[in-house]
Amino acid sequence: SEDGVTNWQIDKWPTLEASPDYPEEAWGIEDPRITRIDELNRWAVVYTSFSRSGPTVSLALTRDFVSFEKMGSIMPPEDKDAALFPRKFKNRWMLIHRPIGPHFGNMQLGPGAHIWISCSEDLKYWGDHSILINARNGGWWDANKVGLCAQPLETPDGWLILYHGVRRTAAGSLYRLGLALLDRENPMRVLRRSDEWIFGPEERYEREGDVPDVVFPCGWVLDKANGKVRMYYGAADSCICLATASLNDLLEYIKSCPEQPPLTREK
C-alpha cells in the first residue's frame, strides 16, 4: 500500500518463514515486531518461535525484507512479546520481552506474567534482566498478564509504550490496551502508566472470531506530517484492522497518569 491504508498488494509467498535449520521454529513463527536500527543500517525483526520446548524470542536482521540474517533464539523459553529499542543506551542495546510462568515472577508482585527489560552489547547474549511493568493484582483491567504490543515509540517526553493487559472472565480472557511512558535516556525507568485501558474489543469483528474479545497490535507508525499514529492490530485472531490516534492526545493522556515508583533497581 502506498498510503498504509488502501489498495494493499499481498506477496504470493511469506516474507519471513520458519526454517528447519532452527529447531526452535519447528512449530512456526508469529508476532513480529520491527524496529529500524540506523547504526546497523538494518531493520531488526523480533518474533516468537514455537517448538516442543514452548515459545521463545528470536531475532532476524534485514536490509530489504527479501533476505534475512537470522540470529536464532535470544531468550530461553517460555518468552514472547518482544521488541528492540532503535538505539543503544550507554553502549548497550535494550529489549522488552515477557517471560511466561510464575517461576519468572517476583513473589512480592504476584505470580502473573510481567513485562521485563534486558540489556546486551551484541544483540545475542542478554543480561541485567529487570521487571519493567508488572501485572497488577485484583480487579484491574491488566491483572494476571501483561505484554508488549508495538515497538517502543520515541517522543520528546520519553518512550511511549503500548501494552496489552489480560483479565480472566467467566467468558474467557479479555485483551485490552494501555500506555506507559519510559525515561528517554534510561528506559528501565517507568515514568507513567495508565490506570485505565485506552482501547479494547467493541466491534463485532473484535468480539467474535477464532479467539473472541482480543485486540492485539504488533506495530504502529507515526505519520510526522499530521502527527497521527496508525496502529495495525489483529482482531479476534481473525482479521487485520487499523486504528488511528493523535500522538499529542496520547502523550497528554499518559502525562496525566500517576507517576510510577521504581519496581527494581535502576542501572
- Can you give the pTM of this predicted structure? 0.92
Residue of 187, 179, 142 lying closest to 257 (CA atoms): 179
Degrees to nearest 5, angle at CA 144 with 149 and 235: 40
CA 232 to the chain's CA centroid: 12
The answer, yes or no, to whether residue 265 has pLDDT greater than 60, is no
Give the rounded percent of residues in the chain with a pLDDT score beyond 70.
93
Domain identity same for 129 and 151: no
Domain identity same for 61 and 120: yes
Q: Give kind and range of the element (H or E) at residue 247.
A: helix 247-255
What single-letter DSSP state applies at residue 113?
B
Number of domains in the chain: 2
Choose one of 113, 134, 155: the last residue of a domain: 134
Choose one of 134, 165, 185: the last residue of a domain: 134
Torsion angle in degrees (nearest 10) through CA of 181, 187, 189, 195: 20
User: Which domain, by its residues, includes 89?
Assistant: 25-134
Domain identity same for 153 and 207: yes
Domain identity same for 101 and 162: no
Domain identity same for 120 and 202: no
Q: How does pLDDT run across 217-233, given as a tens digit for each residue? A: 999 999 999 999 999 99
- CATH number (domain holding residue 40): 2.115.10.20
Q: Give kind and range of the element (H or E) at residue 253.
A: helix 247-255
Strand order through the sheet with 28-37: 28-37, 42-50, 56-62, 69-73
Choose one of 114, 134, 154: the last residue of a domain: 134
